[in-house]
Structure 1
Amino acid sequence: MNTLKTTDQTPPANDAGVPPAPPEAPATSVRVAGREVFIRSGYVKVKLGGELPEGVEVWRDPGRPAGVGFAGRRAKPDWNYRFGSEEVFRTFVAKWVDGLRVRETAKAERRAAAAAPHGCRVGDVFRSCWGYEQTNVDFWQIVALRGRTQAVVRRIAAERVATAAMSGVCTPVPNRFLDEVRHPARVVRLVAAETPRFKVESYANAYRMTPTVEAGGLRTYEATDWSSYA
């Protein structure tokens, strides 16, 4: 069972009657003004085990299963409840802290991925598939790189072959750029991943394609299925 220990917030006074300096706060703790408004008189701070995300605090009524929990740099509590039993209270706090840890880990992984080198180069081709009840396929090519995370991309043509009514396959044609007036170049943020990508629209991403054949500076790519109901 998870243990929740309360801590005495007032250190014992020395011979001169002056309380000693409080211990140095751990790196994950933050002091957020305004939280005291939500902490009821008589509540004591709960000592939580393990490494905690930033700003996590739990205060409770020592005589009954009621408490309040804070996280991050927020002054307002994540929760402020009275529970039916001590067991329910402890289980709730444990699950809440575990959830915060999971989200903190996910954030750290996203930050690391954003800072990682994307490995893309000028000439790389990306594919975007999107649509509702049909599959639209667009191809993009990197024409310039900007800094560590950005690239300039342009739409390129595709060779399309119908294989059935209103459906078929298409392959990108590198360096055959579409009309720049209708399809201007874009500056995009490359996301480093096993397959680098960038956002085309709010509803679609474009993913880097791996050439099936690369010889003499020419690249050949796999065919992609498309469909249309128009």
Structure 2
Amino acid sequence: MMRFAPSRDFYIPKDSVKIADKAGDGLVYIYTSAKGRPAAIAFHGKAAKPDWHHSFASADARERKIREHFEGRRRWAEWKQERCDERKKPHGFEVGHVLYASWGYEQTNIDFYQVTKIIGAYMVEVCAVSQISADKGDEPWMTGKVVPHLDAFTGKPMRRRVNGRSKSVRIDNVRTAFLWDGRPINWTGYA
């Protein structure tokens, strides 16, 4: 059975007046409701469903809501652009930098990766390295601390894109590796 997916035109009342925001992607249609009250329906971008659809006590209240909608869409577009720009910043990683990934369920696993090659402004090649125990002897049962064993590679090199915003590398769907600060990292092994 085919699903009914209405287009934007389905929601727009007849005899409505279109108001578009010149500085953003907001779009509002104003009209008078069946009860004679000022009403409006708002959209953004290419969205088929409305962001909101209200009737108002006065035309001033409707204008306020329209202004808020346009300002909100502009703020959202600015935030999205800032975030996109942050992600595209050069990562600043260098060959030899060490990354760590902390992951696990009911236990904390630690993996270390060493940057082996810089590939352009947004990509690096990382390779898993082994770890050395950094326990002091006073850790609780089934816990400990580890540090990376530099240049002791245990896996094959992987090409990964660097997230410039968080200075991280996504290893797989479970692990994200962050720049290591040089301190021993805690692990647990309860499972």
TM-score range, shorter chain: 0.7 to 0.9
Cross-structure match for 1:130: 103
Q: Tell me how far apart the structure 2 counterparts of residues 139 and 91 of structure 1 sit (CA, whole Å).
A: 54
Residue 119 to residue 159, structure 1, CA distance change in 2 (3 Å): same
**TM-score, normalised on structure 2?**
0.78
Give the aligned residue type for 1:228: G
Contact (CA 8 Å) 1:71, 1:77: kept in 2 or not? Answer: no
Q: Match of 2:157?
A: 185
Check whether the contact 1:68–1:77 (CA below 8 A) recurs between aligned residues.
Answer: no
- Post-superposition Cα deviations, 1:88-107, rounded to whole Å, max 9, x if no partner, equal 64554444334323321221
Higher relative contact order (CA 8 A, sep 6+): 2
Normalising by structure 1, we get a TM-score of 0.66
- Cα offset for 1:53? 2.1
Mapped contact 2:147–2:183 kept (Cα < 8 A): yes
Matched, 1:148 2:109: no
Match of 1:174 among 147, 150, 159: 150
Give the 3 Å change call, closer, same or farther, for CA 200–65 of structure 1 in structure 2: farther
Q: Deviations over 1:11-35 (max 9, x none)?
A: xxxxxxxxxxxxxxxxxxxxxxx75
In the TM superposition, structure 1's runs of 4+ consecutive aligned residues that sit over 6 Å from their partners are none
Query: Could you say if the C-alpha distance between residues 98 and 119 of structure 1 is closer, same or farther in structure 2, counting changes exceeding 3 Å?
Result: same
* Structure 2 counterpart of 1:229: 190
Q: Gaps spanning 5+ residues in structure 2: where?
A: 1-6
Q: SS of the residue aligned with 1:118?
A: coil
Q: Return closer, same or farther for 1:80/1:164 CA change in 2, 3 Å cut-off.
A: closer
Give 1:206 deviation, angstroms.
1.0
Residues 140 and 130 of structure 1, relative CA distance in 2, 3 Å threshold: same
Aligned positions of 1:25-40 closer than 5 A: 38-40=11-13
SS class of match (2:125): strand
Tell me the equivalent position of 2:43. 70
On the 8 A contact 1:157/1:176 being kept in 2, the answer is: yes
Q: Offset of 1:124 from its aligned partner? A: 0.9
C-alpha distance in 1 between matches for 2:18 and 2:111:
56
Alpha-carbon distance in 2 for matches of 1:80, 1:161: 57
Unaligned runs of 5+ in 1: 1-33, 211-220
- C-alpha contact 1:140 1:155 (8 A) present in aligned 2: yes
Q: Which residue of 2 aligns with 1:61?
A: 31
| Cα separation, 2, equivalents of 1:136 and 1:89 | 55
CA contact (8 A) 1:126 1:207 kept: yes
Deviation at 1:132, TM superposition (A): 2.4
> Across the two proteins, how many residue pairs are aligned to each other?
178
CA 1:222–1:185 in 2, change beyond 3 Å: closer, same or farther? same
Deviation larger for 196-205 or 136-145: 196-205
